[in-house]
């Protein structure tokens, strides 16, 4: 398979997660993943990484949200 097809599949996999893809693109991607073990492995690895990241927790200072809001408001006034 050409590198262009793999690049398209990689782009669609990412785009599908962020902004969604059309039905025709979903169909093309499904068919490509059915034929290409390398792209299927990449899709599986991406899914696994996303699951792992969702399982992480990060602690932040309790005042972070209010401080951020204050900074945004100050900047908005400046503009």
- Residue 25's pLDDT is 96
Burial of 66 (0-12, 13-18, 19+ CB in 10 A): exposed
> What is the Cα–Cα distance from 29 to 8, expressed in whole angstroms?
9
Q: What is the pLDDT of residues 34-75, one digit of tens each?
A: 999 999 999 999 999 999 999 998 888 889 999 999 999 999
For 60, the token pair is 């932040």
pLDDT bucket at 2, cuts 50 / 70 / 90: confident
Instruction: Please tell me whether residue 29 adopts helix, strand or coil conformation.
Output: helix
pTM beyond 0.85: no
- Residue 1's pLDDT is 64
Burial of 30 (0-12, 13-18, 19+ CB in 10 A): exposed
């Amino acid at each position: 398979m050409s590198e262009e097809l793999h690049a398209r599949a990689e782009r669609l996999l990412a785009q599908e997660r962020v902004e969604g893809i059309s039905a025709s693109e979903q169909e093309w991607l499904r068919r490509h993943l059915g034929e290409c073990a390398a792209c299927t492995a990449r899709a599986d690895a991406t899914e696994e990484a996303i699951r792992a990241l969702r399982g992480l927790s990060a602690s932040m200072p309790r005042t972070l949200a209010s401080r951020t809001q204050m900074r945004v408001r100050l900047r908005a006034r400046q503009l």
